[in-house]
Amino acid sequence: MDWQLSDDVQPASRVPAARLVDALPFGDVGRAHPVPVTGAWRPGDDPGDRRFARIGDISVEAGGTVTDAVLAFETWGRLNEARDNAVLIAHALTGDSHVRGDAGPGHVTAGWWGDVVGPGLAIDTDRLFVVAPNMLGGCQGSTGPASFAADGVEWGSRFPRVTIRDQVEAQRRLADRLRIDRWRAVIGGSMGGMHALEWAIAHPERVGSAALLASNAATSADQIAQNSLQIEAVTTDPGWLGGDFYDLPGHAGPARGLALARRMAMLGYRSQHELNERFRREWQSSVDPLAGGRFQVESYLDVHGNRFTRRFDAGSYVRLVDAMSTHDVGRGRGGVEAALERVTSPTLVVGISSDRLFPVADQQRLAAGLPTSVSGAEPVVLESGFGHDGFLIETGRVGDLLAPLLD
């Protein structure tokens, strides 16, 4: 796999023509940059900074069991003698446990929050013990579709549907394995914010405080619609094979569908303003798009989509996007507002002004329903032109918001 900066934490920018080999048809890319059948971390790959915890069999909400489940995780800092300085960080849909650190063997991308987590930073590892697991169903060391089942064959289509609640149950078991009875804070953005909220509702006695960044209480129809298109982009790829594609050569897998899903998703992650301002209607080269050339914004999406196939797994993508669609903290709890009333820990709710994926109305519902919202009935709104990914890009300002929660 190529080492690279995470797509999510970089502002959108023009893609130099010299890099457009990644945007060529996959047959051509295969000769220059082989496309793997999966971008998952696999046993035998360099573990990098990962640690692994066996958490037993997990019976999931939708039916079925993930047997002998494993969570990959990374840690920073030291757990104190009282074991009360631990912070859990939950990553977003396509993130992983590598919150801090360089790209290198075992880690395709550099840490996605390295300016927020570390010595002397907002989440200060000189005094806090930070734990970041790769979520259940993921593809960077935790058990997911690309993992080998007990019969020595990838789970593939046999991997059951999982929910946010199932993933938090896996994280709870990790906390038990680490002998952490109560988190000083649980922090997450986007899908990670769903995990943080579920922790605060399902296990209020184990959460000292929570931070929910650019997240929601229940996935809306608009969000489900976008998710369904991304899932279909993957599952209609001829290389999908019902999810059992792992024996195929790389170029024959569902890379086209996964890249298309990523390109769709990028439009939700970045704001209309950012794309319009950075790319306008500029051409990628001297060739007019009307005469067969390309617009810069098309090349930008193609490069990021095709690069994504080298660091992610199509099976995980389908399962995790589905988990986001089924997210509803009110399910079986008397509705969203009744569920939010269960939260007892001080909770920071942050929205991004230009977020078109999880608009500020989602955070307004959270803040209004949480009896312990630190900003009252309204969320803290971060004015940013970067859209949903603002919580990953505006690290200085996000850190300023998080620091008081951890004092």
Cβ atoms of 113 and 130 within 8 Å: the answer is no
Exposed (0-12), middle (13-18) or buried (19+): which is 185, by Cβ within 10 Å? buried
For residue 32, pLDDT beyond 90: no
Instruction: Give per-residue pLDDT as tens, 90-120.
Output: 999 999 999 999 999 999 899 999 999 999 9
Distances (CA, A) of 341 to 181, 202, 373: 22, 11, 11
- Matching fold, domains 7-40+223-323 and 51-219+328-406: no
Instruction: Give per-residue pLDDT as tens, 54-83.
Output: 999 999 999 999 999 999 999 999 999 999
CA 4 vs. chain centroid, Å, equals: 17
According to CATH, the superfamily of the domain at 51-219+328-406 is: Alpha/Beta hydrolase fold, catalytic domain (3.40.50.1820)
Contacts with 291 (C-beta within 8 Å, 6 or more apart), sequence order? none
Distance CA 241, CA 255 (A): 12
CA 277 vs. chain centroid, Å, equals: 26
For residue 47, pLDDT beyond 70: yes
Of the candidate ranges 24-28, 152-156, 242-246, 332-336, the one whose mean pLDDT is the lowest? 24-28
Active site residues: 190, 355, 388
Instruction: Give per-residue pLDDT as tens, 247-267.
Output: 998 779 999 999 999 998 988
Helix, strand or coil, per DSSP, at residue 238: coil
Contacts with 314 (C-beta within 8 Å, 6 or more apart), sequence order? 38, 234, 237, 240, 245, 253, 254, 255, 257, 258
Considering only CA atoms, which of 195, 55, 69 is closest in space to residue 132?
Answer: 195
Tell me the whole-structure pTM to 2 decimals. 0.91
Helix, strand or coil, per DSSP, at residue 86: strand
Q: What is the mean pLDDT of residues 27-50?
A: 79
Instruction: Give per-residue pLDDT as tens, 179-216.
Output: 999 999 999 999 999 999 999 999 999 999 999 999 99
Average pLDDT, the chain: 90
Instruction: Give per-residue pLDDT as tens, 275-315.
Output: 767 878 776 778 777 888 787 778 778 888 889 999 999 99
Residues in the chain: 407
Considering only CA atoms, which of 50, 44, 72, 68 is closest in space to residue 58?
Answer: 68
CATH number of 7-40+223-323: 1.10.1740.110
All structural domains of the chain with their residue ranges: 7-40+223-323, 51-219+328-406
